[in-house]
């Protein structure tokens, strides 16, 4: 998209706000789902992965 010139140079405040709301809803839903599973005893252990994006 960058090479073809279709990549936006700037993002509007509305798009950022909408994306932030969507990410927050996803995070809240995932945490509620995990909490429900943990309270019911279905979760015995958890693994956390940390990833780093390297620039080329």
Joined together, the tokens standing for residue 11 give: 């993002």
Backbone angles phi, psi at 30, to 5 degrees: -65, -40
Which pLDDT value is given to residue 28?
95
| Residues 40, 33: Cα–Cα separation, whole Å | 11
Distances (CA, A) of 1 to 9, 15, 34: 11, 18, 36
The Cα–Cα gap between 29 and 37 comes to 12
Q: How far apart are CA 32 and CA 54, in angstroms?
A: 32
pTM of the complete model: 0.59
Reported confidence tier of residue 21, pLDDT bands at 50, 70, 90? very high
């Amino acid at each position: 998209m960058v090479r073809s010139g279709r990549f936006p140079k700037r993002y509007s405040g509305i798009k950022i706000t909408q994306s932030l709301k969507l990410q927050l809803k996803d995070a809240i839903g995932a945490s509620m789902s995990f909490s429900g599973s943990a309270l019911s005893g279905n979760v015995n252990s958890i693994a956390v992965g940390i990833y780093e994006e390297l620039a080329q």
